[in-house]
Chain A
Amino acid sequence: MNPILNPAMNSALSGGAPVATPFFFYMLSGLAVIGGILVITRRNAVHSALALIVTLLSVAGLYLMLYAPFVAGVQIIVYAGGIMVLFLFVIMLVNIERASKDRRFNRIWPIGLVAACTLMGLFVSAFVKGRALFPDRGMALSEGSNTQEIAKALYGEVNRFGQYTFGQYTFAFEIASLLLLVAILGAVIMTKKKI
């Protein structure tokens, strides 16, 4: 059994009550999947956006189950709170009536299907070979003898996150921010003809 779903570990980490139960896991994943399906099938873009919010919140819940509360919080504040508001902002300016009459799946859908299958294959292979590619925290946890200690170590999750971003992975972090800067500049150039 996945150590994350180990009740003993749960109670140690949350200080008593088990949270990361299979029930929550399946519920949240189910919500995320249903939301994802709705995102691509709804004709109305605002409905899609709302479904996407459900998906994002479910994923945030999954992060919580993985004892990554900081990532969950960031997921809510950035994706569900910030980005989705901007999404809706843009969608509202689009003429929904006309957009919903357009054909939803146009001719390039085979290409999309291929791309989706490729991505799927990537995920599957990552899942299969995952242990070799990534340090598996769950495994590390199960190997530790004292769950209380691990729980303590995990409590400083934000600190560790900070240390990683500004220590070990500074370069990757800065590259990502540079990428965002380029995107911002591109957006400015696209919207404004004369700057």
Chain B
Amino acid sequence: MNDRADQLSNLDLDAPDKTYLDSNELIINMGPQHPATHGVLRVILKLDGEKVLGTECVIGYLHRGVEKIAENRTYTMFNPYVDRMDYVAAVSNGLGYCEAVEKLLNVEAPARAKYIRVILTELNRIASHQLWLGTHALDIGAMTPLFYTFRDREEILKIFEKYCGARLTTHAFRIGGCQYETYAGFEKDVKNFLTFVAPKIDEYETLLTTNRIWLERTKNVGVISAADAIALGVTGPVLRASGVKWDLRKAQPYAAYSDFDFDIPIGENGDTYDRYLVRMVEMRQSLLIIEQAVNGIPEGPIMGKVPKVIKPPVGEIYHSIEAPKGELGYFIVSDGSTQPYRIRVRPPSFVNLQALDIMVRGLLVADVIAVIGTLDIVLGEVDR
């Protein structure tokens, strides 16, 4: 293998029940070029046959120094960069960043802007979950859901494209509100999407939820207890599937989330199947939120009173939102200039990925794939 594998420190595990045949431990590299590591994650696996004795994640292949770039850009200039972190949930990234800077400036976006933000963010949450579902199912061997989810995700991307001209890295929001008023027919498009996608989610569930093989592959796989999840700082659907009813949208409401009525789904066992169910329910809850938001969207301005040159006062702020993958936080230190002194992004994928090791120990190679899928990581965000 290579020198790196020899010095794996957290692979020194308590010895399993040794047998006469245990002398052959296999160390294999999964990734960075591997079809199921969702990009450039490299996991070094220590195997006994097919049983995983330990893992070590090697990350950073996609490290672009986003935080360093932030220190050399103005607040406005940095806004599009955040879309490139979790590129499948770019809208959420933008929302977190804009709200954090607004908080630092002590301004608030107008109500209409907040509603638009909620609609787009929740649409993005559905898109992110759809992408997760497709790739996760593909990892477990079900090819077909991928195409179904991508077909439906396309409708969301079309709405994004119509709204702000971009499909993936949207740069939809600006500090202080939104740049663009909704286009004519936006509400109709969103409502059409709601009626379109609800039966499609049923369709995914028909393929998977009661599928015997799916159940066998996901139940009791990658179990993480609530205590472990909290200690490891795991957030988002992964935490909720372990039974912790915690969602920043409810716990510390931001944007306009306090106006809406929705449930937080939680799981019981913290296994892969529960995480699957939690995300499926979350998609439906997002539909509920979007429906309420699009029906109750107020008239008014979409841009708050922010100065042309954004120059926050000296100070520091931490603001976090519930991104599709968990708590996405921005810690911004301002020195009073037009450029942030330091921006720290608290990436949910990065922290969640850390739980991989304890989730897969003692399982099989195939489960590692399932667990990487169920953690729903995006390497752009892990590596930044």
Tell me whether A128 is interfacial, beta carbon within 8 Å: no
- Nearest A residue (CB) for B18: A193
Cβ-defined contact, A190 with B20, below 8 A: yes
Residues of B within 8 A of A194 (CB): 17
Within 8 A of B (CB), among A144-195: 190-194
Chain B nearest CB from A48 CB (Å) reads: 20
Cβ-defined contact, B24 with A191, below 8 A: no
Tell me whether A111 is interfacial, beta carbon within 8 Å: no
Tell me whether A114 is interfacial, beta carbon within 8 Å: no
Tell me whether B9 is interfacial, beta carbon within 8 Å: no
Residues of B within 8 A of A95 (CB): 24
Cβ-defined contact, A193 with B17, below 8 A: yes
Tell me whether A132 is interfacial, beta carbon within 8 Å: no
Within 8 A of A (CB), among B19-64: 19-21, 24
Cβ-defined contact, B19 with A193, below 8 A: yes
Give Cα distance in the complex from A170 to B20, angstroms: 37
Within 8 A of A (CB), among B340-381: none
Residues of A within 8 A of B20 (CB): 190-191, 193
Cβ-defined contact, A191 with B17, below 8 A: no
Cβ-defined contact, B24 with A93, below 8 A: yes
Chain A nearest CB from B197 CB (Å) reads: 49
Give Cα distance in the complex from A193 to B24, angstroms: 17
Cβ-defined contact, B18 with A191, below 8 A: no
Residues of B within 8 A of A191 (CB): 19-21
Residues of B within 8 A of A192 (CB): 19
Residues of A within 8 A of B17 (CB): 193-194
Chain A nearest CB from B48 CB (Å) reads: 11
Number of interface residues of A (CB under 8 A): 7
Give Cα distance in the complex from A17 to B261, angstroms: 86
Within 8 A of B (CB), among A75-104: 93, 95
Residues of A within 8 A of B18 (CB): 193
Residues of A within 8 A of B21 (CB): 93, 191
Give Cα distance in the complex from A190 to B21, angstroms: 9
Within 8 A of A (CB), among B267-286: none
Residues of B within 8 A of A193 (CB): 17-20
Chain B nearest CB from A99 CB (Å) reads: 13
Give Cα distance in the complex from A193 to B18, angstroms: 8
- Nearest B residue (CB) for A90: B21
Give Cα distance in the complex from A176 to B17, angstroms: 34
- Nearest A residue (CB) for B24: A93
Chain B nearest CB from A109 CB (Å) reads: 27
Chain B nearest CB from A185 CB (Å) reads: 15
Within 8 A of A (CB), among B309-349: none
Chain B nearest CB from A115 CB (Å) reads: 27
- Nearest B residue (CB) for A190: B20
Give Cα distance in the complex from A191 to B17, angstroms: 11
Give Cα distance in the complex from A93 to B21, angstroms: 10
Give Cα distance in the complex from A193 to B21, angstroms: 11
Give Cα distance in the complex from A21 to B125, angstroms: 76
Chain B nearest CB from A75 CB (Å) reads: 29
Give Cα distance in the complex from A71 to B17, angstroms: 43
Give Cα distance in the complex from A191 to B49, angstroms: 14
Within 8 A of B (CB), among A39-63: none
Give Cα distance in the complex from A192 to B19, angstroms: 6
Chain A nearest CB from B21 CB (Å) reads: 6
Residues of A within 8 A of B24 (CB): 93, 95
1/0 contact trace for B1-25 toward A, CB 8 Å? 0000000000000000111110010
Chain A nearest CB from B47 CB (Å) reads: 12
Chain A nearest CB from B17 CB (Å) reads: 7
Chain A nearest CB from B304 CB (Å) reads: 67
Give Cα distance in the complex from A95 to B24, angstroms: 9
Chain B nearest CB from A14 CB (Å) reads: 48
Chain A nearest CB from B55 CB (Å) reads: 22
Chain A nearest CB from B20 CB (Å) reads: 6
Give Cα distance in the complex from A192 to B21, angstroms: 9
Give Cα distance in the complex from A193 to B15, angstroms: 14
Give Cα distance in the complex from A192 to B20, angstroms: 8
Chain A nearest CB from B89 CB (Å) reads: 44
Give Cα distance in the complex from A131 to B17, angstroms: 56
Chain A nearest CB from B125 CB (Å) reads: 47
Give Cα distance in the complex from A114 to B18, angstroms: 39
Chain A nearest CB from B40 CB (Å) reads: 30
Chain B nearest CB from A29 CB (Å) reads: 38
Chain A nearest CB from B50 CB (Å) reads: 12
Chain A nearest CB from B323 CB (Å) reads: 45
Give Cα distance in the complex from A95 to B25, angstroms: 11
Give Cα distance in the complex from A85 to B24, angstroms: 19
**Interface residues, chain A, CB within 8 Å of chain B?**
93, 95, 190-194
**Interface residues, chain B, CB within 8 Å of chain A?**
17-21, 24
Complex A-B, nearest 7 residue pairs according to Cβ-Cβ distance, in ascending order: A93-B24, A191-B19, A191-B21, A193-B19, A192-B19, A191-B20, A190-B20
Q: List 13 A-B contacts (CB under 8 A).
A: A93-B21, A93-B24, A95-B24, A190-B20, A191-B19, A191-B20, A191-B21, A192-B19, A193-B17, A193-B18, A193-B19, A193-B20, A194-B17
Instruction: List 11 extra interface pairs beyond A93-B21, A93-B24, CB under 8 A.
Output: A95-B24, A190-B20, A191-B19, A191-B20, A191-B21, A192-B19, A193-B17, A193-B18, A193-B19, A193-B20, A194-B17
